[in-house]
Amino acid sequence: MKKRGPEKSNRENGTSPGSITTQWWSFSSLVPTLAGALWLWIAARDGTAVLLGALPGALLLGTGLSGLLWDAGSRTLQYMALASGLGVVLSVPVGGVLDPVIGLVLGTISAASFLATGYVSLGEDRRPSDVPAPEISPGFALRVATDEVMMCAIILTTWPVAVGPVATRVRREASEAYPLFEEKGWLAKPATYHKEPPPLGEPAIQPISHRRWEIECITFDSLYEPRVEEPGRERWLARRHDPTVYAWTLRHPDGARPWLICVHGIRAGTLRRNLSLFRPDYLHEELGLNILMPVLPTHGPRRTGPISGERTLSGDVMDSLHTGEQAVWDLRRLVSWLRRSEGAPAVGAIGHSLGGYIVALLASLERDLDCAVAGNPAVDPAHLFWTNAPAIVTHSLSAQGMQEDTLEELLRPVSPLALTPLIPLERRAIFAGVGDRVVPPTEADSLWHHWERPRVGWYQGAHSRFLRAPEARKVLEDTLHAAGML
């Protein structure tokens, strides 16, 4: 497959390691190394502690030594954080089985190892020159380590495109899709891949009360179907819950107000998570906006398996394509409903993580959108998958002839870096955390360059709690002002 690919302005060029790598905390890998050795020593001394101590001990020692002897890659840091967290949890039963003092010592050194993981992650930082340097502190290191655990959990719970017939099927579908996409012109002109969705008429609306909020739950039939000739169509349509779209609204009773569509990230999609992420006390009450929180395909009540979004951006290229296309299809129908039925004077969109990626897509496909704010956007899913997936997955796909550029090429129709934004420059914006380890700041920086350097806010933080950052709030409010929504 010939390589066309989206822009990589700062993933491959213009990056700098930052000055923090020369500081004393570059040797923080000593802490998990010592913690691992202590866990294994305790386990070896008492057979009753072997089952509890072997796993955190082996992981801590192995990842700690890797950090000392080589550059600690993303997988190493994720498992280092996971092992540290396991050490803290397992120190409690070890203290009960052996001695409370031993449990306290193991818990303390495991907690120190968790904090050290954050410092190691910051010490391994490779950021574009446009991105401000992290301001190192214990609190920042703790948030970064939490990011590593979060990313490890996402990777380990993603439906495994790993070995045998599954990898063979992925390769077969990619081989079938590539000539079709070339023939249709979808690789050369990615926007033409997306079909025009029908306007949304009157969805079902059910009022519910949640804590102090009066919320409406909206449901309607998506009507989305992959094309008959596309590989993976039947598998996608077999998802029994995806056809029904869910969204929650918070509206003001005093006439028409601007609406802000708030798009969640991966593993979210429940009402509780959406309210926690998008803070209605700020967006709805303080800024005075009506807010609409849709559920993305395969997430929340639309999921098929036990885990929300378990196969989203999993390396299964056709599923990733159909996720992106259906998500934008559903959102465009919601925009039409807000305009036609709700009389919305203006409609904007904000997304976080996977939601930032979807909002960046929406900004390039929906002309009736007044502004778009992409937060911590995961705009290069092929690279994120290939960087973070377990080695057994990438090796299995490589054995089938699948490489990162293969995924990247076929994902062009749902790549914000291959599409042209339709929203004016002053009404599109980006924000991201300089220490984000779930979606590295290189992703936001690439979108910033592709979007011709719009308003951007870099906050001193990691992946979560973005609406508490003053830099993110300022970018959002300035963009809403530019769109006449405040």
Query: What is the distance between the alpha carbons of residues 39 and 443, in angstroms, rounded to a whole number?
Result: 37
Angle at 193 between CA 190 and CA 194, to 5 degrees: 110
The two three-digit tokens of residue 124, written as one number:
């391994």
pLDDT-wise least confident of 33-47, 284-298, 436-450: 33-47
DSSP 295: P
CATH label, 165-482, candidates 3.40.50.1820, 3.90.1200.10, 3.40.190.10, 3.30.310.50 = 3.40.50.1820
* Ranges of each domain in the chain: 15-157, 165-482
Confidence of residue 85 (pLDDT cuts 50, 70, 90): very high
The larger pLDDT score, comparing residue 43 to residue 333, is at 333
The larger pLDDT score, comparing residue 313 to residue 285, is at 285
Q: Which residue is listed with tokens 């291959």?
A: 418
Query: What is the distance between the alpha carbons of residues 121 and 125, in angstroms, rounded to a whole number?
Result: 6
Query: pLDDT at position 2, please?
Result: 45
The backbone torsions φ and ψ at residue 328, rounded to the nearest 5 degrees and listed phi first, read: -70, -40
Query: What is the distance between the alpha carbons of residues 474 and 463, in angstroms, rounded to a whole number?
Result: 18
Residue 3 reports pLDDT greater than 50: no
Query: What is the distance between the alpha carbons of residues 76 and 29, in angstroms, rounded to a whole number?
Result: 11
Q: Note the pLDDT tens digit of each residue in 131-179.
A: 999 988 999 999 999 999 999 988 888 755 555 677 888 889 999 999 9
Residues in the chain: 486
Query: pLDDT at position 161, please?
Result: 52
Residue 10 reports pLDDT greater than 60: no
Average pLDDT, whole number, for the chain?
A: 90
Query: pLDDT at position 187, please?
Result: 96
Q: Note the pLDDT tens digit of each residue in 360-397.
A: 999 999 999 999 999 999 999 899 888 888 888 888 88
Element (H, E) at 80: helix 74-97
Query: pLDDT at position 422, please?
Result: 97
Residue 34 reports pLDDT greater than 90: yes
